[in-house]
A and B are shown apart, each in its own frame.
Chain A
Amino acid sequence: CFSTLGSGPHVGDVDELFDVKNAYYIGSYQQCINEAQKVKPSSPEKEVERDMFLYRAYIAQRKYAVVLDDIKSNSAPELQAVKMFADYLANESKRDSIVIDLEKKMAQSVDAANTTFLLMAASIYFHEMNTDAALRTLHQGESLECMAMTIQVLLGLDRVDLARKELKKMQEQDEDATLTQLATAWVNIAVGGEKLQDAYYIFQEMSDKYSSTLLLLNGQAACYMARNKWEEAEGVLQEALDKDSSHPETLINLIVLTQHLGKAPEVTNRYLSQLKDAHRSHPFLKDYFAKENEFNRLAMQYAPTATA
């Protein structure tokens, strides 16, 4: 059917794994897994790529065991990298040794064509808060995803200016790609102001076009909240909550939202308790607990001049 459109030259553009990747990036992990199991890759390379997304989708669902069991020592090097990341996330106790291993690997010559390895390595560095190493690693890759991750790291560093530059590169490579769109939304949120509406529409359009996911819904909510549209955000977050009642980012956003809506403190505390219950090691809570300690420490610096 394609020939009827006379777009012969673009046949090469068509990505047979589009649906798999797309589902992964918009956070529709189960769909990504389903699509990956359905698709019939045309070459062994594609097959590896497919598996890479398949296993990463499992990682995103926190089903680390599947990945650790499935990927054997004779699997492709790309998949080994995925396995390394899964291992890192799955075992908090092994993290230090994994990072040391990774450092060793990075010290040797790195296969820059193995984008997956770069991405996985950068992901680990990012989790380690070692943004320098993450950026250095990502700098070696040229794929859209490397750029997208670079943007995410830069935004974490509050370097919106550099993030915009990187985004421009992405847009030059493929403006309409899902990743470019998503990265545009992230940058737009960071830029704020009128760009917030644009960011919102990007998430909205993707949910329209594919399906609404926790990733997209929380993105929409973040846009709404950034524009102080609390009531609208409530609807979106409610939808997210219906999809997964213990999704940490949704809960965090609800903690923000309920206060801005002027709800009773108990409502907010309920979400906080839920978060504490299910995601004790979430960065938000790590921060939160650290802040509590800081508060206690700082409070000790003050005292009344007289006591009763």
Chain B
Amino acid sequence: MLTKFETKSARVKGLSFHPKRPWVLASLHNGVIQLWDYRMCTLIDKFDEHDGPVRGIDFHKQQPLFVSGGDDYKIKVWNYKLRRCLFTLLGHLDYIRTTFFHHEYPWILSASDDQTIRIWNWQSRTCVCVLTGHNHYVMCAQFHPSEDLVVSASLDQTVRVWDISGLRKKNLSPGAVETEVRGISGVDLFGASDAVVKHVLEGHDRGVNWAAFHPNLPLIVSGADDRQVKIWRMNDSKAWELDTCRGHYNNVSCAVFHPRQELILSNSEDKSIRVWDMSKRTGVQTFRRDHDRFWVLGAHPNLNLFAAGHDSGMIVFKLERERPAYAVHGNMLYYVKDRYLRQLDFISSKDTAIMQLRSGSKFPVFSMSYNPAENAVLLCNRATNLENSTYDLYSIPKESDSQNPDAPEGKRSSGLTAVWVARNRFAVLDRMHSLLIKNLKNEIVKKVPVQSCEEIFYAGTGSLLLRDADGVTLFDVQQKRSLATVKIAKVKYVVWSADTSHVALLAKHGERKQKPHKYYFHFSQFPRLYFRSSTLFIYGNVSYLIIPVRHRDRTSMRRTTGIHLKQNGTIMICNRKLESLCNIHENIRVKSGAWDESGVFIYTTSNHIKYALISGDHGIIRTLDLPIYVTRVRGNNVYCLDRDCRPRVLTIDPTEYRFKLALVNRKYDEVLHMVRNAKLVGQSIIAYLQKKGYPEVALHFVKDEKTRFSLALECGNIEVALEAAKALDERSCWERLGEAALLQGYHQVVEMCYQRTKNFDKLTFLYLLTGNLAKLRKMMKIAEIRKDMSGHYQAALYLGDVSEMVRILKNCGQKSLAYLTAATHGLDEEAEALKETFDPEKETVPEVDPNAQLLQPPPPINPLDTNWPLLTVSKGFFEGAIASKGKASQMAADVDMDAAGGEGWGDDAELQLDEDGFMDAREGLGDDGLGKEERGGWEVEEDLDLPPELDVPGGAGGGAEDGFFVPPTKGMSPTQMWCNNSQLPVDHILAGSFETAMRLLHDQVGVVNFSPYKSLFMQTLSRGSTCYLGLPSLPCLRGHPQRNWKDCGAKQGLPAVGLRLSDLISRLQQCYQLTTAGRFEEAVERFRTILLSVPLLVVDNKQEIAEAQQLITICREYIVGLTMETERKKLPKDTLEQQKRLCEMAAYFTHCNLQPVHMMLVLRTALNLFFKLGNFKTAASFARRLLELGPRPDVAQQTRKILAACEKTLTDAHQLNYDPHNPFDLCAASFVPLYRGRPVEKCPLSGACYCPPYKGQVCRVTQVTEIGKDVIGLRVSPLQFR
């Protein structure tokens, strides 16, 4: 049993799952109805209107309604959207035990201690039927899921099945109108006929607490105080007891059929929930609770979820894990479904079963590890008792029939987890908490104790992640050492990126109890006494928790009422060294994840697909109705498995995380592209950008001047800020801009700001600093006008305008000061004038300090008109982008000028930096060198002590060993075997045995001149063996590729030839092209190479042997023909005899076996020559032959003309040594015809013919073979030796 969610509350008496939303209703013994979201683990709402315990509760399947029934005799119908009770149905005369909606009709079915069952119409809000017959409390009554039946259970020890078809007919027949039903007052009158008892099931010998129909079979399950669960079967006429499930040792409170599996669930006051096999009627599983008796069970109509109510709350649980076991390799997904291992090709979507699993485990496969090298899988099976867990090692069959795949024998061993660590090694965490390294035969090759390790995960070749109580350790299996550790508790899954550079650790953050803000205990007494089957029971609570509901709004309710166990998850992303890059907390379980191709981690929680960047940024991509398990992410597609193990593909919008990723990577062109093409703009994006430190990017989005202004200041973009400030024209803006501009040295902007804010003091000082005396004087005037005496004086002081200072002092009555100023500065006239104004009686003329010094501000050397020089700063991508959009302000020109001036600065600064860096580097080097030397000196000292000790054992050992060692003799190399195994020349060449190769060529095809073979030999030899490196700095090792490597064993090897008939054939094309192009000599050269290569072939069958022969023939024909043609062109054509010879040779050429395209050319030549010579008859035969080959239209037309001309005089003017009707061979040396029957000598390789005198000479065609030599014949296949 896997607990998904638990609550603590008063005793739970009723439960109902919402069919679609992740909600469950719990009705409590204290009168409260709770609505929980079991996925988010939050209390959504509370409904507290019943007085006393609420036992009946049921969601409506379609409407936002639920019905409840309580000990206050009331049935209430509620609307959870409106969050209130809509109405109350009154009629029952005692406690109401259950209330259920009909799945189709507007009916409610209620069972009551008043011994009746009632059916209500919730639309008309009336009772439409009363079912009487039970003679004790009716504990439960339920509609049949599809038929017009009701099943009820009563303390009268019976279960009854009622037929309500009459009621349906009456209420839903066309004539039946609402008013008719509403008119019913004395329900008993109709009750008898509308609903009749069909079966009475007797068998329990105590009161029956629960009865329920099977969802689709004619079965009923019941649970009773006789501690038994009974299964009943019924047909149209009767019903009978099928079997009893015994095991509970106290009253059975509730029993239900599993909606989809052949299971029955029951719970009892014996504090247990039991699961029974429906067909075997045996207990499968038992879950016990320590202190709480169970009262009710609820099954989710379509999910694998159950709820059970007990004395102190409720649990939502499922019977088994629904996570499919899967593994991804490349484009393949491997997963287990229904005892089959299946393979899904992501690209072609081809989904095939490739293997049937060995049965035996009653649990679904827990996890899988796939080994692509060996095509093997490890499937782990977790048992309830972890120590009994096993794993299976399977070798996947190479070929399999998807309809009925093989069930190969696996190897099963005990072990908690098994994962591949290398191609031929896997690691098993055994129950003794040792790490076993095993080989493909499932044999232990190494054992590593890892005491506190709870779980192991794959971590790349040769490495594992080991999980202990509070962290995960990267462990190198080879070195048996831990490489890195990261602290994170309860890691459940590990997802590596494709290149294993990053890993996401998915952890269950534990169950954290959320404390309520306010709660109090309410001592209440609901003792209840009644007789049950002659035994007295006392039901009562001593105390229970009541949660105050002060606030009606949901959010605050969540805050104040969360007494439940909260489960949540953590994702930690680490790099290869297991350094934590970020940590993400989720309030909800993290289910799965996969890395997309751009390095974003896409993960799923119970209800969302989310993304996480390695920077820690994360967010929601889309919501999910049901949990899924992500297998792979590509582009917009999320590939996943759902809980039914169905592969699915969901599309997502990756814009948001792509955008953020582009930002993190500072790929601003992408960012800009997205901004312009995707609808991304929004306050949230701007806030995000600002928060993450990309004000310059955010600036790009903003149209609102105020935001623009702040953003511009934030990223120091004075131009944009100025623009915005102008638009806004607010004092505070100017002030802030002034400050920012001052920091950056934009004193012109500062001036403007001070002007706008009328900050005269600062403005004055600014002018002083910038040496702008004219403006400073103006400021003085302004101060005078403004009657700002102090400012006026200050300006005068800055200007060094003494007379003005004197004037000011005089005007404001500071006569003494005025006098002193005048006197000190040598304005004697003024001083005198002032002195006279002193009243000698009342006033004393102050004494002038003889040491007083002239106080004058230094005059500016060069007034500063432009802004302060600025360091050159490269413009950001976005500034550029903004400017390029024509938004540049009027400042642009100025700024550019400044920038130009600034470059000098920039250069200097850079230079300085460089020098510093250089200096540092050198210093660093010096230090290092020094350190080394010191250590070196120290080492020498050590050395002095050591040698004598070392020498003794070394010398002795070496000497002793020496005597016994006998160096091995050289073994038989593969190349030697090749020679032994083959009589084909190429094998000997590849083996490097030129001597034998030559002998073979000589004997087989009569080669006597080997020099043309030299390059072929060397080339062939060079492909005979490969290289691989052994230890560094040593000569490399040689590999010997063999064509029969699969089955040759140690002795039967034959070299891989590396020369294919097809390659030679394809090389013909090149020769043909050269021929067509008229490059005869080159063509001959190539034809000859091909011809010489043929004896170096190895072919497999007779057809290929024939083809090889044919290839030789083709080459020969061309070589003979082309050589003759070359020869012919060299011949003189002055005399008639000479011309006749030319014609003869042209005629012979037409008897070489050439390709039609070439034959046409040859025929045209011959035709022309013969026509010119006047041999019209022969010419005509050439013309006909030409036309038969179907030449181009223009050629054909011309040929026909010539033919017509020939046919006029069909005679030959000259006698030639050419008889087209008498078959002949052509002597390849003398180019004369050898008519059949005449003696002829042939080349043993090419088959070229020669007049007998040429015997013993080298063949003109091959240039390697001896004419007329007696040979074995061409051997290119082992077939020829059998």
Name A's B-contacting residues (CB within 8 A): 1-2, 4-7, 10, 13-15, 18, 24-25, 27, 29, 44, 56-57, 59-60, 72, 74-76, 85, 89, 109-114, 123, 126-127, 131-132, 135-136, 139-140, 145, 148-149, 151-152, 154-162, 175-178, 182, 186, 189-194, 196-198, 201-202, 204-206, 208-209, 214-215, 218-219, 221-223, 225-228, 249, 252-253, 255-256, 259-260, 262, 265, 268, 272, 283-284, 288, 291-292, 294-296, 298-299, 301-308
Contacts and interface: CB of A to CB of B under 8 A. Distances in A.
B1002 interface: yes
Query: Which 7 pairs from chain A and chain B are nearest by CB?
Result: A306-B1256, A109-B955, A111-B954, A6-B451, A158-B971, A201-B423, A299-B1010
A291 to B, nearest CB: 6
B1018 A292 contact: yes
B1023 interface: yes
Contact of A13 (B424, B480, B939, B1035): B480
A302 B974 contact: no
Contact of B955 (A110, A154, A301): A110
Interface of B: 373, 422-424, 445-446, 448-453, 460-463, 466, 468, 471, 473, 475, 477-482, 484-485, 500, 936, 939-940, 942-943, 950-951, 953-959, 961-962, 965, 967-974, 992, 994-995, 998, 1002, 1007-1011, 1013-1014, 1017-1037, 1039-1043, 1045-1050, 1053, 1056, 1058-1060, 1062-1063, 1066, 1229, 1254-1258, 1266
A225 B1049 CA distance: 17
B1032 A176 contact: no
A136 B965 contact: yes
A129 to B, nearest CB: 9
A2 B450 CA distance: 10
Contacts of B943: 74, 76
A137 B688 CA distance: 70
Contacts of B1017: 295
Given A225-B1039, A228-B1043, A308-B1257, A214 B1029 contact: yes
B1257 A268 contact: no
Contact of A25 (B953, B994, B1032, B1036): B1032
Nearest to A228: B1056
B1032 A29 contact: yes
A57 B1033 CA distance: 9
Nearest to B1093: A265
A253 B950 contact: no
Among A13, A114, A218, the one with the most B-chain Cβ atoms within 10 Å of its Cβ is A218
Nearest to A139: B965
A14 B1255 CA distance: 79
Contact of A1 (B482, B1030, B1063, B1254): B482
Contacts of B953: 112-113
A193 B351 CA distance: 33
B1033 A89 contact: yes
Contacts of B992: 291
Nearest to A148: B1031
Nearest to A156: B1037
B479 A307 contact: no
Contact of B1008 (A10, A225, A302): A302
Among B957, B995, B1027, the one with the most A-chain Cβ atoms within 10 Å of its Cβ is B1027
A302 B1029 contact: no
A18 B940 CA distance: 26
Given A249-B1029, A252-B1026, A255-B1023, A189 B1256 contact: no
B466 A192 contact: no
Nearest to B476: A18
Given A14-B481, A228-B1056, A298-B995, A135 B965 contact: yes
Among B967, B1019, B1030, the one with the most A-chain Cβ atoms within 10 Å of its Cβ is B1030
Given A5-B475, A260-B1056, A291-B992, A298 B1010 contact: yes
B967 A209 contact: no
B954 A225 contact: no
Contacts of B967: 131-132, 135-136
Contacts of B463: 209
28 contacts: A5-B453, A14-B480, A44-B942, A56-B1033, A111-B951, A112-B957, A112-B961, A127-B1034, A132-B967, A149-B1030, A155-B1037, A156-B1035, A157-B968, A161-B971, A192-B1042, A192-B1053, A193-B1048, A201-B423, A206-B461, A227-B1041, A228-B1041, A252-B1026, A259-B1019, A260-B1023, A262-B1062, A291-B1018, A291-B1021, A299-B1009
Contacts of B1033: 56, 59-60, 85, 89, 123
Contacts of A252: 1022, 1026-1027
Given A59-B1033, A159-B970, A284-B1027, 20 more contacts: A6-B451, A25-B1031, A59-B1032, A112-B961, A123-B1031, A155-B1037, A159-B968, A177-B478, A190-B1037, A192-B1053, A208-B500, A218-B1029, A221-B1026, A249-B1029, A256-B1023, A262-B1063, A265-B1019, A291-B994, A295-B1010, A305-B1008
A138 to B, nearest CB: 10
Contacts of A214: 1029
A253 B1026 contact: yes
B928 to A, nearest CB: 10
B998 A302 contact: yes
B954 A112 contact: yes
A221 to B, nearest CB: 7
B1266 A158 contact: no
Contacts of B994: 291, 294-295, 298
Contact of A201 (B424, B460, B477, B954): B424
A256 B1019 CA distance: 9
A197 B479 CA distance: 24
Given A157-B968, A159-B971, A2 B482 contact: yes
A160 B478 contact: no
Contacts of B478: 176-178
B419 to A, nearest CB: 15
Given A201-B423, A219-B1029, A4 B473 contact: yes
A214 to B, nearest CB: 7
Nearest to A302: B1008
Contact of A109 (B446, B954, B1040, B1053): B954
Given A5-B450, A127-B1035, A249 B1028 contact: yes
Nearest to A127: B1035
B67 to A, nearest CB: 56
Contacts of A192: 1040, 1042, 1045, 1048, 1053
Contacts of B998: 298-299, 301-302
Contacts of B965: 135-136, 139
A100 B463 CA distance: 47
A76 B1034 contact: no
B1042 to A, nearest CB: 7
B1040 A302 contact: no
A252 B471 CA distance: 50
A144 to B, nearest CB: 11
Contact of B1010 (A126, A145, A197, A302): A302
Contact of A222 (B423, B974, B1028, B1043): B1028
Nearest to A161: B971
Nearest to A296: B1014
A295 B967 CA distance: 32
B958 A299 contact: no
Given A109-B958, A109-B959, A113-B953, A304 B479 contact: no
B1028 A189 contact: yes
Contact of B968 (A154, A218, A283, A295): A154
A194 B1046 CA distance: 7
Given A186-B1030, A228-B1043, A256-B1026, A7 B480 contact: yes
B1191 to A, nearest CB: 32
Contacts of B471: 4
Nearest to B1029: A215
A292 B478 CA distance: 47
Given A175-B446, A265-B1019, A24 B1032 contact: yes
